[in-house]
Structure formats: C-alpha cells, structure tokens
Amino acid sequence: MADSAILDAAVSGAGLTTAFQPITVLADGAVVGFEALTRWPELGDPDPETVFAHAAATCRLGALDRMCITAALDVALHRELPQGTLLTLNCEPLGDHLDVAGNRLLARAHEHLRLMFELTERSLLKHPRALLRKVAGLRAEGFGIALDDVGAHRDSLALLDVICPDIVKLDVHLVQSHPSDDQARILAAVLAHTERTGAVLLAEGIESDEHLEQALSLGATLGQGFKFGRPGPLTVPVPAGWSPPMKHPVQPTGDSPFDLIADKVPVRTAHKATLIPFSRQIEAQALQAPDPPMVMASLQLAQHFTGPTSARYSELARTSALVAVFGWGLPSDLGSGVRGVDLAPGDPLCGQWIVLILGPHHCAALIGREQDSSGSVPEPERRFDLAITYDRVLVTVIARSLLDRIP
C-alpha cells in the first residue's frame, strides 16, 4: 500500500506517464489500436486503483481524470498514429464533461483518431444522474463508449442496456478460466445484449493460446493481453482498419415516464387495489432473479412508503445493484441500502405509480398514472391508467427517466 505522500504526489500529476497496450483483432492478431493506461514509474508504480481512490477521497478525481486523458492524447498525437487508429481512454463516470469546443487537444485527437472512452467500474451507480449525463455528453460529441470489466461487478451488468456501450470489455476472469455456472449465466446475459445491440465484445487478459481459444468461443472479436503485447511506450505499426458498429440512438429520458410509453403499449383503467398485487409480483421477480436487477419504484407520496413496503425493499436491497424509491417528501436514506428520492411537487411522478426491474436476465415495468391526483378521491375509488410491459427497450426508457432523477 502506497503511503499518503506518494499518493498525493501521484494525484497531483507528479511522474505521470502513459503506457499503451495493443488492441487486436482476434481472428488474425492485427493491431487496430491501443488502450491508454496511466502509470507512475518514478513513484514506484503505485496501484492505479489506489491512486484514483485517493483522488476521490481528496476531491481531486476530476482533475486527475483530465490529466490522464490529456497526457494520453498528447503522446498519441505527437507519435502521429495513423488516421482512424482506435484509442481507448479510461474515463471516470463522474468526471467533468469532455468538451471538444473548449479543448483544442481533444478536438485534434477527435478529428484524427477513433476515440473510445471506457467507463470504469468505480461507483457506476453512486450518482446515476451524473453518469447518464456524462454518457449523453460523450455521445453528443461523437465519441464511442466502452464499458470495462463487465461481469466483475453487478453494476456493470445492470447498466448494460442503460449505457448501451459500443464495446463491452469482458472481465479477465471470464477469459482465463472455463466458465462456472455463475459465469455462464453472466456470459449469457452479455451475449444476449451484444446480439440485441450489435456491440463489439472485447476480451481482456489474453496471455496464452488457451485464453485466445476461450475468448473466441465466447464470441469476442477484439482482444488485449500479454499474448499480443504488454503496456509500454507507444509503438506505431500501421493498424488494420476497424470501424465500430453503427450506434443505436439512446432514447431521451423525458419528464413523464408514462408519456414515454403510453402510445406503445395497451393502456387500461384499474383501481389501486389492482396495482398492488401486480407490483408485488414484479418485486417477487426481482427477488428470484439469478442476477438481481436494479429495482425502482415511484409511490407518489412519502406516506405510501409504509412499514411492510420498507421491509420488502430492504430485502431487495441486500442483493440488488440499486434499490431506489421515489415520492414527494421522502428522505434520501430510507435505511438498509434503500435510496429515497424526494420529488418536487410539480414532478409528473407525483401522479404516477411505478414498479420497475431491469437487469441482465429480467425486466418488467408497471406504470400507472392516476386519473385524479387532486387527493380528494377516497382510497377505494382511486383509478389509474395502467400499462405493464416486459419489452426491454421500453423498460430501459423508463429506467433512464427514473435514474435521471437520482442525484
């Protein structure tokens, strides 16, 4: 463990250098680009995870992120990599937005290279709104997005459809061993996602012919690892041409989840007493899911988060990547890992009842809009326009709308 003086120096940029590891086409080993990796050899090579954790703890994560990206781009441009070379850059989900218009170095690199920003797995769901806006900003600038270490953390699996990356990077443990039953389940979810979206599968940690064979059997087309080259100074072979898949447009989050899907699924009228058992059934699916999904619920008002509801959602929070409850007047901490989101009085969610699960294997959403939200209707007579969907695209659209409300 590096001492605090070394970590402070590393976070400040002292001794910061960039190592580059080749990215290859697995079918023939042709180099198509490089991943830029930050190192501190002059400081004894402290562990990057430890350095970034120290940066976060000392409120300097954004500054360190910018220094690492700038250093990598500077080297790549000075070494005159061929036009269109793929360059992947690790990027903190909560870091500042990367603005081409305000950054000449980034603008030059964007024009000359094929830039792909890798979202690291650190705290992907800690601040969902910031994550979504970072992804939207990168997309708007025309950058590609990769999701790193998929399969190692439940956050990355739960967010596959929300982020919809261009490249899915398989965790090294999935490549360097024959899959266990649990790993096979993870891989099945990843393969289903890549089939739906056309995302490219990249295998990390390929060090031997056996690892290469395993990566190919899993459906990976790109790879990295010591078999193809260790991280080091940037060499400039002429890379093989490579183009990312066609980007799938990310649906807008919108203000009203109900309005986002009301014209796409059947809508019926139901009493609140009908909504309750359907809500419980979706919650039960989340509990039974082999890889627990994100669970989000809009209960309109804080008073609807009753003791029994708290107990159910506390149970869900023990295994789920995220459990969040929305309602006017809710505190931010509902206990037992359940996140509360206090709605502004004018938020359309104040008039909507939603229970949603989204994960690698299961997705479902119940969404009801109260016909009379004045509060004057007796409880037994409350009626909702009700829609239920198991369509992954529609569930993802609703999930983005909810996640965008979580600070």
For the domain that residue 373 is a member of, what is the CATH number? 3.30.870.10
pLDDT at 121: 64
Q: Are residues 313 and 182 in the same domain?
A: no
Question: In the listed set 171, 203, 223, which residue is the last one of a domain according to the structure?
Answer: 223
213 and 293 share one domain: no
Confidence band (pLDDT; 50, 70, 90) for 251? Answer: low
Residue at which a domain ends, from 223, 247, 269: 223
Report the pLDDT value the prediction gives residue 290, as an integer from 0 to 100: 80
- In a domain? residue 251: no
The answer to whether residues 171 and 119 belong to one domain is yes
First to last CA, the chain: 32
Q: Examine the domain organization and report whether 185 and 80 are in the same domain.
A: yes
> 142 with 273, same domain?
no
Question: In the block, which residue shows the tokens 């999701």?
Answer: 147
The label of the residue with tokens 């359309």 reads 348
Please give the Cα distance from 231 to 210 (Å, whole number).
Answer: 21
**DSSP state at residue 245:** P
Alpha helices in 201-290 (DSSP H): 209-217, 257-261, 272-288
Whether 144 and 282 map to the same domain: the answer is no
Same domain, 89 and 207: yes
Range of the domain at 323: 257-403
**Average pLDDT of the segment spanning 294-304:** 95
Number of domains in the chain: 2
Residues 272 and 161 in one domain: no
- Domain presence at residue 73: yes
Same domain, 130 and 207: yes
Q: Which tens digits make up the pLDDT trace of 215-233?
A: 999 899 999 999 999 999 9
CB crowding 158-197: b at 16 or more within 10 Å, else e: bbbbbbbbbbbbbbbbbbbeebeeeeeebbebbeebbeeb
231 lies in a domain? no
Does any domain span residue 175? yes
pLDDT band, residue 152 (cuts 50/70/90): confident
Q: Are residues 213 and 137 in the same domain?
A: yes
Domain shared by 145 and 278, yes or no: no
In a domain, 247, yes or no: no
> Average pLDDT, whole number, for the chain?
90
What's the confidence (pLDDT) of residue 64? 93
The stretch 340-356 carries a mean pLDDT of: 95
CATH number at residue 188: 3.20.20.450
Pairwise pLDDT comparison (280 vs 186), residue with the higher score: 280
Q: Give the start-end residues of each E strand in 93-249.
A: 114-119, 144-150, 167-170, 200-203, 222-223
Residues 384-396 have pLDDT tens digits of 999 999 999 999 9
Give the other-Cβ count within 10 Å of 253's Cβ: 20
Q: Is residue 252 part of a domain?
A: no
φ/ψ (deg, to 5) at 73:
-65, -40
Helix axes 272-288, 307-317, angle to 10 degrees: 20
361 domain-assigned: yes
Same domain? For 79 and 179 the reply is: yes
What percentage of the chain reaches a pLDDT higher than 90?
A: 65
pTM of the prediction? 0.88
pLDDT value of position 238 = 66
Given a cut of 90, whether residue 355 has pLDDT beyond it is yes
